[in-house]
Structure 1
Amino acid sequence: MPSSTHDPRARRYMHCLPFGAQPASATSAQQQTRFRFWAPSCHAVQIVFDDASEAVEMTPAGNGWFEAQAPCGAGALYRYRLDGGQTVPDPASRYQPQGVHGPSEVIDPRSYAWRHAQWQGRPWEETVLYELHVGALGGYRGVEKRLPALAELGVTAIELMPLNDYPGERGWGYDVILPYAPHAAYGTPDELKALVDTAHGLGLQMFVDVVYNHFGPDGNWLPHYAKPFFREGVRTPWGDALDFDRFEVRDFFCDNALYWLTEYRFDGLRIDAAHAIGNEPWLRELADQVHARVENGRHVHLVLENEHNAANLLETHFDAQWNDDAHHAIHVLLTGESEGYYRAFTDEPIRKLARALVEGFVYQGEPSPVHDGRPRGEPSGHLPPTSFVLFLQNHDQIGNRAFGDRLRALCDDDDALRAATALLLLSPQIPLLFMDEEHGSKQPFQFFTDYTGDLADAVREGRRREFAAFGAFSDPARRAQIPDPNDPRTFAASSPPASEPASEPERSERLEWMHFYKSALTVRTRLLAPRLRHASADHATVLVDDAGRDTAALIARWKLADGETLSIALNLGRDDVSLPQQPDGTVVFETPPRARDRIDAQVLPRYACVAWMTGDVQGYANHYARQHPSSEEPGP
């Protein structure tokens, strides 16, 4: 809820949590904070403070809840003492200045005055996502410095990997321990708010990745005082399953989503591994809560990662899902890889890509060879293309590789990668880039953690064992070369440089890639995005050679909102391919340069991507330019 304390002209936001530490308005000279804590496995709870002030007894309030009001305010450091023994941090802590094993800090969210409180977000169809790791870019302040360049590139939304507090200083953030506490190593809560505020001032949406399917292995005290939080005897790949049939669990995570969207003013959430939550009714409840309780007029978006390809969740409740199927098909075409989950896409990958472009999911109920032949997915062809987030790279697809290889290091030819990138940026599906991709980066992004002792050993050796089934790592000596996630050098090797390279050839190469991305995104911004609402897929055709065999080329078509057509011809093969006919319309983008000259002769060159639009393209571009005088001319 907005608050106008302190400066009456400023907007200050606080999500009133029904648990945790909630600063109260002082009615006298002494500050007061209300504490509420769910500990159904305990008989007695006290609040203990690091300043050695007297402990405060919490009053049982029924159903496992304990409550108290204490004479303290913002800055107070506290823990809960369980049954006179163990002390633990607040599971709803807003900040852990000394990490997950330290005390929680009382935070007054109203201390930050928002400069761009009038920001209402952007429609989903305008979204171009850019995923990044905050720590690898120097914390909140480091990311903030990069925002103007990303806005100029044509990105419209920044997606932060998880911010919730986890053990140590370095990590991906998916081993969540305290989901309400932004990770202290990245900066303070006010610095995070300043990052979001600055982004809004530049017209950028802000998304954050949230993890609601498990807790990490180090620092999670919930089983000691709230055993019913977990489903007895049910395990996930990451630990004990959470019991989303309990309303306390449901409320805990619903409020977490609302907390990020209201108190921190994020514009959207990406829900990690939604399939591991195992409770579709709760996912719908979460979406309903968000849509009902966020202020009217705001554009707020919810995106899923969901191995189950549950199209029904995209019909009414969620904006989109990460399209792993499309990624896997493109990756196989670019690299020829066939192990792991790529095994399900090695058979007719170009036909699988064609289906993904016009229907969304490749697996829509068919048996999947990497799921023991079980059916996977639901029919998705009725959904609009904007229901799917398309990407060539993300933290998973790079970092889950043994050495964190970028796609450019795996692809035989830069021209092939540029063709796939043009498809990514100009398809009506929502594009997602991974940090520094726009510079043609070959720098790895490796899996890194900051564990110590036996857990560090288990993580290192466990990761190496995971790759034993892959041909390249059958030799134990080769597996031993896989980087140690806990070595600080692994994190350093994964962090993009803070400044431009000293070498002129390197600077020139980075600039060339950036110009390519910017040119395609200019076309998307001016010609495609304004016509994506209510767009629909038409069809895709796989091109064949003279013997009638599939090539690595296709033509896909979509109907735009104004009735015009977008066509994209893609060839990821090493050979030129004959075109049965040239698509109608005006060429709006091409790679390699002058590919249209070959198209006129009904030949689609090797490693090419060409996009056409029907209608008055120049008139539409001129209209957009009048509405947005600072925009650039479209085209490469």
Structure 2
Amino acid sequence: MDLSDRQSSPAVAAPTRVWGAVPIGDRRWRFELWAPGHDRAALLLQGRALAMIADGRGGFTLDAPAEAGDTYAFDLGDGPRPDPAARAQAGDVHAASRLVDTRFDWPASEAQWHGRPWSEAVILELHLGLFTPEGTFAAAAKRLPGLAALGITAVELMPVGQFTGDRGWGYDGVLPFAPHPAYGTPAEMAAFVAAAHAVGIAVILDVVYNHFGPDGAYLHEIAPAFFDADRHTPWGAGIAFERPEVRDFVLSNVAMWVRDYRIDGLRIDAAHQIVDASARHVLDEVALTARSAGGGREVWLILEDERNLAGLTDPQAGGFDAQWNDDYHHALHCLLTGEDEGYYAPFAVDPLGDLIRALAEGQVDQGQPRPAGAEARGEPSAHLPVTAFVNANQTHDQIGNRARGDRLIALAGEEAARTAHALLLLAPFVPMLFMGEEAGETAPFCFFADFPEPLASATRKGRAAEFAKFKGFGGEVPDPIAVETFEMSRPYRGDPARAADWLALTRELLALRARAILPLIASGRTGVPEVLATGSKAVEACWDFAAGSLQIRASLGTPPEAAVPWDNCDFRLGRYGADAFALDCRIRPTHS
């Protein structure tokens, strides 16, 4: 069943199998494992072997006395294996697992946190290992008050599930229930969330349910039926989501993050690779489980889905709040840089026209034929609310998947980046920045990993081969395994005066957004947006809402052909009509 044809339902059953080890009271813990094809299983608790009870359907369980912090593993006859649903490890991904009681001691102030309306979201995507010199939850928590003062209302953490080594993006994780130990303990992650809530910042977590990483994914041998031999993703074996036990693994993970860690939102990585032929798609159950686990708090659900299926975020269907809108990024990027290779090719034919459609209707690809041999994709999206689209000028993908991790400012220049920054933060869609972007960061963000051999050599060769055919993306590729590549990707080390100037711009834009644009969005859109070209690289847009109108015009490389000055602009960048890069914005309440 395609997710766009999903069935709606007011409720969903809780996971029937709680994977992993959880406390059940009286200093006792319940250990559960699904290992179909195995006749017996033993729990190795603090080095002591205890026979587990088979349920006849591939499941094994055991209740046993234990303490938080104890180590354990499972033995199916070939030696100890870590728990695939471990809440923490005693070492790396190959080590024994450690018992964690996720009933954290929350501060009293947490009772006052009920979340934020999605329309208020201004997101900063960040990589915990690079966001601060220490690369920890505790260090990142200290920066949250500054982000709140700037106008950031949400942070999105790149995946934190444990992966191989110390350095990595997180999308090759193999223990999705265990916060990566280089970032801190589970309790320190909970403390980070509490610190965010204390200053009014929501926490979104990027989760990966479509594949596992290449090193340490013991589920392949513990439960081969977890995977579908006929289903593949670009990153490895496809997952058999039709199996109840597999669904329970995913839903238990969702419930843990939202209920135990009080995460405010989940961003589902590569949802188009989550293929499920069940009557009810597993992602429907993800949405229902997340909101149920929130206990009445606002819980945001965001998809990365390259199919551009408008039904996924249609308020009439329920489910998900928004999708990452890569179409907006691609159109703007092509207009500012002139790049025309790879996935940019269809957007390089008429980037201004594509940008106009993105500003008016959200997505560019809506099922219409596209040039340059691209396959048609997508559905009409003009009817969706502006909050159904998370727009970004830069993301970890769009920077890090370049050969050298170039940021937009390095490709298009300072003036272009400032104008694009203003357009992103003042347009009515949900804006997302990538760490450092708020301060005009120029340092690259490269792909990096910490794989052992021979996987390290294969990664180096694969990365170099990937870019060999691109004239625009080519050149020497930094060694993804070298610690130097990780360190060169660290932001916030540039000229303090320049950073302060950018931060002042960001603060001004977000103050205007909070003061005058959010009330428009909350009132509801009326009519059809008017967006038109005023030059070869200039655009003018007007969005009408019940409470008033938002008008923006921007020069993105050339002055408009004819520009009549606007009186009483609420924001002005450069000299619109004279400068190649400039932007004017004005808000008109309905009563004026």
Bucket of the pairwise TM-score, normalised by the shorter protein: over 0.9
RMSD: 2.0
Unaligned regions of 5+ residues in structure 1, if any?
1-14, 545-549, 620-636
**What does residue 511 of structure 2 align with?**
522
Matches within 5 A, 1:167-566: 167-279=164-276, 281-296=281-296, 298-315=297-314, 316-368=318-370, 373-412=374-413, 414-472=414-472, 478=475, 481-497=476-492, 506-533=495-522, 534-535=524-525, 538-544=528-534, 551-562=536-547, 564-566=548-550
- Answer whether contact 2:346 2:374 (CA < 8 A) is retained: no
**What does residue 18 of structure 2 align with?**
18
Give, in whole Å, the separation in 1 of the partners of 2:32 and 2:204: 29
SS in 1 for 2:112: coil
- Answer whether contact 1:126 1:530 (CA < 8 A) is retained: no
What are the superposed Cα offsets for residues 267-317 of structure 1, whole Å, 9 maximum, x if unpaired? 001111101112382222221232344312x11100011100111010121
Given residue 577 of structure 1, which amino acid in structure 2 is its aligned partner?
A: E
Higher alpha-carbon deviation: 567-576 or 86-95: 567-576
- Answer whether contact 2:349 2:371 (CA < 8 A) is retained: no
What are the superposed Cα offsets for residues 76-108 of structure 1, whole Å, 9 maximum, x if unpaired? 1011001x2232111111111312111111111
* 2:65 is equivalent to residue 87 of structure 1: no
Given residue 200 of structure 1, which amino acid in structure 2 is its aligned partner?
A: H
**What does residue 163 of structure 1 align with?**
160
Matches within 5 A, 1:140-151: 140-151=137-148
**What does residue 6 of structure 1 align with?**
none
Shift of 1:260: 0.7
Give, in whole Å, the separation in 2 of the partners of 1:451 and 1:536: 52
Query: Against the structure 1 CA distance between its residues 121 and 313, is the aligned structure 2 distance closer, same or farther, given a 3 Å change threshold?
Result: same
Query: Against the structure 1 CA distance between its residues 198 and 536, is the aligned structure 2 distance closer, same or farther, given a 3 Å change threshold?
Result: farther
Given residue 436 of structure 1, which amino acid in structure 2 is its aligned partner?
A: G
Number of paired residues? Answer: 567
Given residue 73 of structure 2, which amino acid in structure 1 is its aligned partner?
A: R
Shift of 1:111: 4.3
* 2:570 is equivalent to residue 588 of structure 1: yes
Give, in whole Å, the separation in 2 of the partners of 1:194 and 1:382: 40
Give, in whole Å, the separation in 1 of the partners of 2:153 and 2:248: 31
Give, in whole Å, the separation in 1 of the partners of 2:384 and 2:140: 34
- Answer whether contact 1:385 1:536 (CA < 8 A) is retained: no
Query: Against the structure 1 CA distance between its residues 59 and 140, is the aligned structure 2 distance closer, same or farther, given a 3 Å change threshold?
Result: same
* 2:45 is equivalent to residue 38 of structure 1: no
What are the superposed Cα offsets for residues 370-416 of structure 1, whole Å, 9 maximum, x if unpaired? 7x53221111010011100011011001111111111111113x222
SS in 1 for 2:238: strand
SS in 1 for 2:107: coil
Query: Against the structure 1 CA distance between its residues 85 and 444, is the aligned structure 2 distance closer, same or farther, given a 3 Å change threshold?
Result: same
Shift of 1:443: 0.4
What are the superposed Cα offsets for residues 124-152 of structure 1, whole Å, 9 maximum, x if unpaired? 00000000000112211121111111111
- Answer whether contact 2:29 2:63 (CA < 8 A) is retained: yes
Query: Against the structure 1 CA distance between its residues 551 and 369, is the aligned structure 2 distance closer, same or farther, given a 3 Å change threshold?
Result: closer
Given residue 488 of structure 2, which amino acid in structure 1 is its aligned partner?
A: A
Give, in whole Å, the separation in 1 of the partners of 2:119 and 2:473: 42
- Answer whether contact 1:577 1:606 (CA < 8 A) is retained: no
What are the superposed Cα offsets for residues 576-617 of structure 1, whole Å, 9 maximum, x if unpaired? 4313x667x84211102xx3xx6xxxx364211111111289
- Answer whether contact 1:16 1:22 (CA < 8 A) is retained: no
- Answer whether contact 2:259 2:293 (CA < 8 A) is retained: no
Shift of 1:484: 1.0
Unaligned regions of 5+ residues in structure 2, if any?
1-14
Query: Against the structure 1 CA distance between its residues 425 and 132, is the aligned structure 2 distance closer, same or farther, given a 3 Å change threshold?
Result: same
**What does residue 60 of structure 1 align with?**
54
**What does residue 9 of structure 2 align with?**
none
Q: TM-score, normalised by structure 2?
A: 0.92
Greater gyration radius? 1
SS in 1 for 2:569: strand
SS in 2 for 1:78: strand
Shift of 1:347: 1.4
Give, in whole Å, the separation in 2 of the partners of 1:359 and 1:98: 49
